[in-house]
Structure 1
Amino acid sequence: MSKLLEGKVALVTGAGRGVGRGIALELARAGACVVVNDLGATLDGKSDGGQPAQEVVAEIEALGGRAIVNGGSVADWDAAQAMVAEAVGAFGRLDIVVNNAGILRDTIFHRMTEQEFDDVVAVHLKGSFNVSRAAAPVFKEQNGGVYVHMTSTSGLVGNFGQANYSAAKLGVVGLSKSIALDMQKFGVRSNAIAPFAWTRMIDSIPSETPEQQKRVEGLKKLVPEKVAPFVVALCADAAHEVTGQVFGVRNNEIYLFSQPRPIRTAHCGEGWTPEAVLETALPMFKADFYPLDRSADVFTWEPV
C-alpha cells in the first residue's frame, strides 16, 4: 500500500472498536502516527473493564506503525485539549482529526428525557466541537490540517426514536461546514461522512417486529472497515480541494449528499397575508414537499 499519509499524525476519537478502529488501522497502514482515543466504556457510558484502545495500538505497532492511547472524554473541554497536547507531545505535530466517538440513547421523542438528549449532544456535537477547537490553533500555526466528522443519515434523512442523535448529527454537518469556511484561509479542510456500518453502537437497535428484524439483518451486512479507505483518501494531500462536503460510505458505495438550497420560490408584490400563504404559497410548494422518510425508505437496495 502506498504511504499516502507518511509523516502525518492523526487523532481518532472512539477508535477502540467498530468504524473508529478500522479508521485508526487504515491511517496507520497509510503511514500516519495515530492517537487512539477511546473511553473503554459500555454504550451507557460505564467502564467495561476492557482496553480496546490499547489493543488497537498493539495492532498498529504489529504493523510497524506508531500509536499511543488516550482515554479522555470528548465531551470534556479539558480532556479534548489534552488529546491534542498528547499528540503534539508524542509526535511533534497533528495533521488529522477524525471525530468518530459516539453514543446512543434511542427513545421515542415524547418519552425522551433531558438527560438522554444532553448526553447524546454532549458526545456527538459538543465533543466534535471540543476536539476540533483544541486542534484549531495547531492547524492554524502549521497552515494546514484535515477534519473528518461523522454524521448520520438519521440526521440527513431521519429515523424513529432518535431525536437526540439526529439533532446532534445534523448539527455536526453545520459545524463541519462552518469550520471549512472559517479555516479555509489557513489551508484547513473539513468534511463530514455518514458511515453505514454494523457496530456495537447500532447493535442496540430494536429487532422485535418483522420489519425491525429485516432492517437489522440488512445492517449486519455493512462492514465497518469499509469506511476507512475513504477517510484516508480525504486526508491525503491529493484531496486538497475537497472541503465543506458531506459524503456517505456504504460497503463498496460512496455517496455525495446534497446540501440545503432553495428549490421553489413564491413572490407576492403586495406582501403576504396568512390567508394568501395558505391559498397560494403552500399549494405551490406542495408538489415538492419531502415525505416523512426514514433512512431505510431512501436506502432501499441491498448493500454491495
Structure 2
Amino acid sequence: MHRHKAARSDKREDGVYRAGFACFVGRPNAGKSTLTNAIVGQKIAITSNKPQTTRHVIRGILHRPDSQLVLVDTPGLHRPRTLLGERLNDLVRETWSEVDVIGICFPADEPVGRGDRFISSEMAELKATVIAVVTKVDLVSPQVLAERLLAVSQLYDFAEIIPVSAVSGHQVEQLTDVMVKYLPESPQLYPDDVLTDEPEQVLIGELIREAALEGVRDELPHSIAVLVEEMQVEGKLTKIYADLYVERPSQKSIVIGTRGERLKQVGSQARVQIEELLGGKVYLDLHVRVAKEWQRDPKQLRKLGF
C-alpha cells in the first residue's frame, strides 16, 4: 500500500498542513479589498473609492486541502484627525502585530509615493513575513510595470514581490501559494464551511452602507454608520430592520433623496446583495437617523460598534 503517494496530492510538497493569518495593507485604493475578495472568491470586504470605508476587521477564509489562509481586512492607516481615526489606527497596528504574513499593495497605475514609504517603514518592527503585491497590472504597459517593480524593490527588503490583477485574476493563485508558504505549521483554525467569522449582521451593515454611499460619496465621504437593529427569520423570508446614522439633517435629506427615491434605490441595491449573502429572500426596512457628530463621541462610537 503506497499510502504516502495518495497523501502527497492533498498536502503541499512538504506534506505539511499550514494555517495562519494574513492581511493586505496599502494606501487607499491600492486594491486591498478587491484582492481579498478575489482570493476568497466572495464579496466580503467593502470596496470604495474614498479612504477609510473598510471599518471592521472582516476576515475571509480560504480553505485548501493543504492549508487555511485567514485574511484580515484592516482599515487603511492614515494620519488621524478624529477619535474615530485614532481608533482605526490602533486597530490597524493591533491587527498587524497578530498576523503571519503582510502583503503591502502598490497600485501599478500610480508611482510609488510618500504614503507607500510611510507604510513600508512601519513594517520594520513586525514579526510577520512582508511581501509586496503590485496590483492592477492589467492597467499598465509591461515597461511601466517593470519600473514599478524596481521602485518597490528599493523600498524595503521584501520576502517576495508579486504582480497581480484581481480583476483579470492574473497571478492571484500564485500570490495565494506564496502567502500560504509563509504560514506556520498548524492544524485547521476554522471549520470547512466558514467563509468569514464576522457575524452576518456586520456584513449586512457593510452592504447597506456601501449601497448608501454609492453615488453620494462626494457629499458624504464616510459619515454614515449602519446599525442592524433586528433580524427575524419567518419561513423563507428574513426580515431585516436597519438604521442608517448620519451626522446632520442636511445629510439625512441627501440619503433619503427627493420623495424618498434615493433611499428606495439604496434599499433595493442592498437587498439584492444581502439575498446573495444569505441565499434567500429578504425584506429590508431602512430608517435614516441623525446622530450628531457621532465620529467624535465615544459613547456613540461604542454603540455603533467601534
TM-score for both structures, normalised by structure 2: 0.29
